[in-house]
Amino acid sequence: MIIQSAVFVKGALKPRDFPEASFPEIAFAGRSNVGKSSLINTLLGRKSLVRTSRTPGQTQVLNFFLINEGLMLVDLPGYGYSRAPKEVIRSYQQAMADYLQFRRNLIRLVLLLDIRRSPNEEDRYFFGLASHLGIGPVVVLTKSDTVSRGRWPAAQREIGRVLGWDPKAAPVFFSSRTRQGKEELWRVLEEGIEQKKTR
């Protein structure tokens, strides 16, 4: 996809504060520090549209970005380890659940998993929820540059085993540092957009 414009719209926690649901949306989920913000910046060819941080739990609202005036990308708060207060964590966890289940124009959930880690309980929850809702997930294995390519198949098999994932389904191996997987991920996402248009 050629990115002509990419604009931050707003951050929100409550459905009433979400932007009007007038564009197809693709949401990005993953545990804290898995690289969601870096991935979105890489996809959009921007260095700092989405704020990144080395401190887990910095994204505490759902952040909406309008792309080419016709597609919304949504950066969900990271789950798992966070230094945020427990009440704040509960509030954005509830916001994510509400968003994923009731946002009518959400067409895909991109689930980011660190290639070096086995999926945890929350990873499995989001994988199952997206499967149940028919919005994917598109599985992306981040930080792939930290593991030799020869070890990618073993990592894929282990992650697939834990998730109960079809072993024939191929994840996208991604690195924000080398841009590995950028074009492949865009192809997968564009296919999802086209499928939605033909329904």
186's enclosing H/E stretch is: helix 182-198
pTM equals 0.90
Q: Give the structural domain span for 187.
A: 6-198
Within 10 A of 100 (CB to CB), how many other CB atoms are there?
19
Q: CA of 12: how far to CAs of 96, 132, 175, in Å?
A: 11, 25, 28
Among 155, 164, 83, which Cα is nearest to 124's? 164
In a domain, 162, yes or no: yes
The 10s digit of each residue's pLDDT in 113-167 is 999 999 998 899 899 999 999 999 999 999 999 999 999 999 999 999 999 987 6
In a domain, 28, yes or no: yes
Q: Find out whether 155 and 173 touch, Cβ atoms under 8 Å.
A: no
At 75, which CATH number? 3.40.50.300
DSSP track, 26-82: EEEEEBTTSSHHHHHHHHHT-SSSS---SSTT---SEEEEEETTTEEEEEPPPBSS-
In a domain, 82, yes or no: yes
In a domain, 1, yes or no: no
In a domain, 76, yes or no: yes
User: For residue 139, what pLDDT is reported?
Assistant: 96
In a domain, 129, yes or no: yes
Question: What Rg, from alpha-carbon coordinates, does the chain have?
Answer: 16
In a domain, 144, yes or no: yes
Number of structural domains (the chain) is: 1
